[in-house]
Chain A
Amino acid sequence: MIVERAAVDPIVIALAKAAGLEKALVQFPDDVAAAAAQALNNAGAVKVPTDPAAEPWPPMRAGIGL
């Protein structure tokens, strides 16, 4: 049985190819499209600080030792 799949957005295809995901695009196009949509949703949920002085949390360090 041939399963029809929705066409993947050309921008997503271009980004996926740039990330080296050619095999995933061929084998799992729905997963690639879902991942791109998920990435947009997640990034959009973050209220990035408008204060230019707000620095990133220093990775690998939470609080200080006692």
Chain B
Amino acid sequence: MSAAHWLSASQIASAYAAKELSPVELVKALLERIGKLDPKLHAFIRLDAEGAMRAAEQATAEIAAGQSRGRLHGVPVGIKDIIDVAGLPTTGHSKILVDNVAKADAAVIQKLRAAGAIVMGKLSTHEFAIGGPSFDLPFPPARNPWNPDHHPGGSSSGSGAGVAAGLFPLALGTDTGGSVRNPASACGIVGLKPTYGLVSRRGVFPLSFTLDHVGPLTRTVADNALLLDVIAGHDPADPGSAATQARGFGRFLDRGVRDLRIGFVRHFHERDLPAHPEVAAALEHVARVLEAEGAQVHTVTLPALTEFAGINRVILCSEAWSIHAPWLRERPGDYGQLARRRLLPGAFMTAGDYVGAQRRRGQVIAEVEDRLRDYDVLLCASSMDPSSRMDDPDETARTYPRQARTPFNVTGHPALAMMSGLTQAGLPVSVQFVGRYFDDATVLRVAAAYERATGWHKKKPPIG
């Protein structure tokens, strides 16, 4: 058996079944690792060691008594700190909410608890999932386990850093402009933004109602499907929740990609935002690997990234302003500068700007839908650059918007980012796969085939 901290969720379940490991033993091992590594990674805002141990003791007793609750029973999970966990603070990594204690579990936490998962604590984020990485907040920003001098991506920074560092096997993040897929890309793991409406956002602090998604971050594709199976489902209390019974997201993982049609959106990284050479080379390699596995890969065209980004920003800023206006008016100094600068533009958007963006949104959705009538999955870049140094805010500001994730917040299609290689400097680079509405299973199928063919998931950051 591998070291306990590198086990996947499915390996953990097998180890429990074989009585080679118990939830108490696993949580103790992870708490020890967190104690050793988190002082330099800052993945946690609030570690709930006592709550995790109590849950581990309960899971150990239940499993010993043969009362299995499923494949996540006794499996630890970290939670981004804009998702409510009853009794723990939901701060949004902000001074504004530093004393805010959640009264109830978010819908996704209720589902995780019902499945027997163990909540380890609350994780670093960019302030309100938009303002970071920042050093003027109540908690330090998370750092990248591949090189702690580098940014781990965001806004689900602690989720990405903690999963990649082996602090927990699973994490939840949120994604409004790419915030699950960015840390997955920077930290060399798997991050899925599910189809809009597939996962309830009840109990999640909103950033932008029509762009927000909750999604899983994991070290393997199979674990991603497993976690999605648990958190997906219709929730009448979430106005954006879809009336879908879609389940079994891992049912195609072993099928490979033979005869699948994959559209390669090359202009995103070749023309719209020319990518770092190592990112571009890795993307070409992904296409060759999938062709070698039997897929048909053809170049396709979508609207330009600048268009998607403009639509995303107008909608995001307008909706976020309607949430943050009272605090921006009365407590502007309690925001970090990045969040303040990224939220204030909403004050200057007009109703016409917002409706115009939503009208154009309908058109770009139709264009992506057209491509997805001909292709099962789209392949494209996620980040155009390896992650920047934490002490270089100019480079972070330059590289942060150089990405191809926002298009699929605008359209709502499922989109997954995963590792596609390492740079010569030892930093992960990434690829993104995008699928049809509610066909998250086929996105995961392609990702699983790529993972099997390349084995990038076996690479671990050099942190012990």
Interface positions of A (Cβ within 8 A of B) = 12, 15-16, 19-24, 27-28, 31-32, 34-36, 38-40, 42-49, 54-57, 59-66
Contact = CB atoms under 8 A, between A and B. Distances in A.
B161 interface: no
A21 B328 contact: yes
Contact of B209 (A12, A21, A46, A59): A59
Given A49-B363, A66-B246, A20 B348 contact: no
Interface string B320-343: 000001001110110001001100
A62 B197 contact: yes
Contact of A35 (B234, B347, B357, B361): B347
B437 A62 contact: yes
Contacts of B333: 27-28
B2 interface: no
A65 B359 CA distance: 22
Interface in B357-411: 357-363, 365, 411
Contacts, number: 150
Contact of A59 (B210, B242, B344, B349): B210
A19 B348 CA distance: 8
Given A23-B330, A60-B240, 14 more contacts: A19-B347, A28-B333, A38-B341, A39-B348, A43-B314, A44-B310, A45-B313, A46-B360, A57-B365, A60-B210, A61-B197, A62-B195, A63-B438, A65-B245
B196 interface: yes
A15 B341 contact: no
Contact of A54 (B310, B346, B362): B362
Contacts of A16: 347-348
Contacts of B189: none
A21 B344 contact: yes
B112 interface: no
A63 B353 CA distance: 24
Contacts of A22: 329
